[in-house]
């Protein structure tokens, strides 16, 4: 039997601790995690197994993982409401991923946009993990009987694959084998764009770092990057993603942080110049990130405490993951230990 439905629905999400996290990760994911945390049973993790699909420097991976966790807490993730953990601390993720590997199809994985994009940059030897990565993500989600997955727009396809897999296996092993999850895509800033090439997504691994705002950027860097942000040859400050992607991106960033509507922001900038929009967007971002950076630094100064938090999170997560994995093993026909 699937675990009885909890009084609150379940949320799970994660970020790869590769390089430094960006404003895209913050607005597309973390800020919404915080908003949703009181109304759901939330599970938030640093997905280090996913990060390993691309070669990582061991020291940098360790530091980036601690920093990601510190940023989650500093952004307002409340340990009373959320289970916070590191993916590799829960062996069941890799175990369930194997079972999903035996149920996912080559064709559907080949269609994943992110695989096509990343593999085209990987050179001659494409790691198999890059191909099967969405199945590990599906395992992350299905292990916790997740109802809702808050992610940016770029991860929607992976959540849809997870739904397909859950339904396929429910067809084989019974309807209550897996909860079929839904994506939760934020209404604004679901795809924060690169500041220098605003038709591309802002990314941790952009070739030109000046196009990405990293959550650890200094106030001076934030100002400089916004000042250089690509706009267009017009003058009007208007939200029009098709024809004015750079200006629309800055408006979206403001809207996602302040909660102001797009129309209100447009009205506020009536008759003003692009320079005003850039300077004020930088200011809003600095105000938002300043306290988070300060708190994250304090947390990072005490790794023993972070380790304690992660141990506690791992214990809670492992207990739940084990129940789901045993249920699936039993249904598949493995002898139970």
* x-or-dash string of contact with ligand TYM, 98-137, rule CB under 6 A: ---------------------------------------x
The nearer residue to ligand TYM, 160 or 268, going by C-beta atoms, is: 160
State how far the alpha carbon of 30 is from the alpha carbons of 23, 35, 126, 186, 221, in Å.
10, 9, 30, 11, 22
Q: Which of 41, 50, 147, 286 binds ligand TYM (CB under 6 A)?
A: 50
Number of residues that bind ligand TYM (CB under 6 A): 26
- Please give the Cα distance from 23 to 285 (Å, whole number): 9
Q: How far is CA 182 from the centre of its chain?
A: 15
Active site residue 118: yes
Q: Which of 258, 292, 284 is nearest to 73 (CA)?
A: 292
Among 48, 140, 217, 252, binds ligand TYM (CB under 6 A): 140
β-strand partners of 193: 201
Residue 300 CB, shortest distance to ligand TYM, in Å, is: 20
Minimum Å distance from CB 28 to ligand TYM? 2
Nearer to ligand TYM, 270 or 325 (CB): 325
- By C-beta, is 191 or 320 nearer to ligand TYM? 191
Question: Could you say which of 69, 99, 148, 151 contacts ligand TYM (CB under 6 A)?
Answer: 151
**Options 118, 244, 286, 320, the catalytic residue:** 118
Which of 38, 116, 201, 224 is the catalytic position? 201
CB-nearer residue toward ligand TYM: 27 or 306:
27
Q: Out of 31, 204, 286, 320, which one is annotated catalytic?
A: 204
DSSP string, 30-82: IHHHHHHTTTSEEEEEE-HHHHTTS---HHHHHHHHHHHHHHHHHTT--TTTE
Query: DSSP 3-state helix, strand, coil percentages of the chain (rounded to 5)?
Result: 55, 10, 35
Site for ligand TYM in 195-234 (CB under 6 A): 201-202
Residue 14 interacting with ligand TYM (CB under 6 A) = yes
Number of residue whose CB is nearest ligand TYM: 28
Tokens of 251: 């408006």
Q: Decide if residue 12 touches ligand TYM (CB under 6 A).
A: yes
Q: Which stretch binds ligand TYM (CB under 6 A): 21-29, 163-171, 262-270, 325-333?
A: 21-29
| Contact of 251 with 262, CB cutoff 8 Å | yes
Binding part of the chain for ligand TYM, among 100-108, 150-158, 170-178, 262-270 by CB under 6 A, reads: 150-158
Tell me which H or E stretch contains 207: none
Known active-site residue 201: yes
Beta strands 82-86 and 148-150 are: unpaired
Smallest separation (angstroms) from ligand TYM to the CB of 238 = 21
Pairing of strands 41-46, 10-15: parallel
CA 174 to chain centre: 30
36 vs 202 by CB, closer to ligand TYM? 202
Distance CA 223, CA 220 (A): 5
Q: Which of 11, 19, 20, 25: binder of ligand TYM (CB under 6 A)?
A: 25
User: Which contacts of 311-315 are long-range, i.e. CB under 8 A and separated by 24 or more positions?
Assistant: 312/79, 313/79, 313/83, 313/84, 313/85, 313/86, 313/89, 314/85, 314/86, 314/89, 314/90
Nearest CB to ligand TYM, comparing residues 151 and 215: 151
191 binds ligand TYM (CB under 6 A): yes
Residue 85 DSSP SS3 = strand
Residues that bind ligand TYM (CB under 6 A): 12-16, 24-25, 27-29, 47, 50, 137, 140-141, 149, 151-152, 154-155, 158, 190-192, 201-202
**Catalytically active residues, by annotation:** 118, 201, 204
């Amino acid at each position: 039997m699937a675990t009885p439905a909890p009084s609150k629905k379940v949320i799970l999400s994660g970020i790869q601790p590769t390089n430094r996290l960006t404003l895209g990760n913050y607005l597309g994911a973390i800020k919404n995690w915080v908003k949703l945390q009181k109304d759901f049973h939330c599970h938030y993790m640093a997905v280090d197994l996913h990060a390993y699909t691309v070669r990582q420097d061991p020291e940098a991976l360790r530091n980036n993982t601690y920093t990601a966790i510190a940023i989650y807490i500093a952004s307002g993730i409340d340990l009373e409401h959320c289970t916070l953990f590191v993916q590799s601390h829960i062996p069941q993720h890799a175990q369930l991923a194997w079972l999903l590997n035996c149920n996912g199809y080559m064709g559907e994985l080949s269609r994943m946009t992110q695989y096509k994009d990343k593999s085209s940059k990987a050179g001659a030897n494409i790691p198999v993990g890059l191909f099967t990565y969405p199945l590990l993500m599906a395992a992350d989600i299905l292990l916790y009987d997740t109802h809702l997955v808050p992610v940016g727009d770029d991860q929607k396809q992976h959540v849809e694959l997870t739904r397909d897999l859950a339904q396929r296996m429910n067809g084989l092993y019974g309807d209550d084998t897996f909860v079929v999850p839904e994506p939760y895509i934020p209404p604004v800033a679901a795809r924060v764009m690169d500041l220098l090439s605003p038709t591309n997504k802002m990314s941790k691994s952009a070739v030109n770092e000046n196009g990405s705002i990293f959550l650890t950027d200094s106030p001076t860097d934030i100002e400089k990057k916004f000042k250089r942000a690509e706009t267009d040859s017009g003058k009007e400050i208007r939200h029009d993603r098709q024809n004015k992607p750079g200006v629309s991106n800055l408006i979206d960033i403001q809207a996602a942080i302040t909660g102001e509507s797009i129309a209100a922001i447009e009205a506020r900038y009536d008759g003003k110049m692009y320079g005003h929009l850039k300077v004020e967007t930088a200011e809003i971002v600095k105000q938002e990130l300043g306290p988070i950076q300060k708190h994250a630094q304090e947390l990072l100064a005490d790794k023993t405490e972070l380790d304690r938090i992660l141990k506690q999170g791992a214990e809670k997560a492992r207990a739940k993951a084990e129940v789901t994995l045993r249920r699936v093993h039993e249904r598949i026909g493995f002898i139970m230990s």
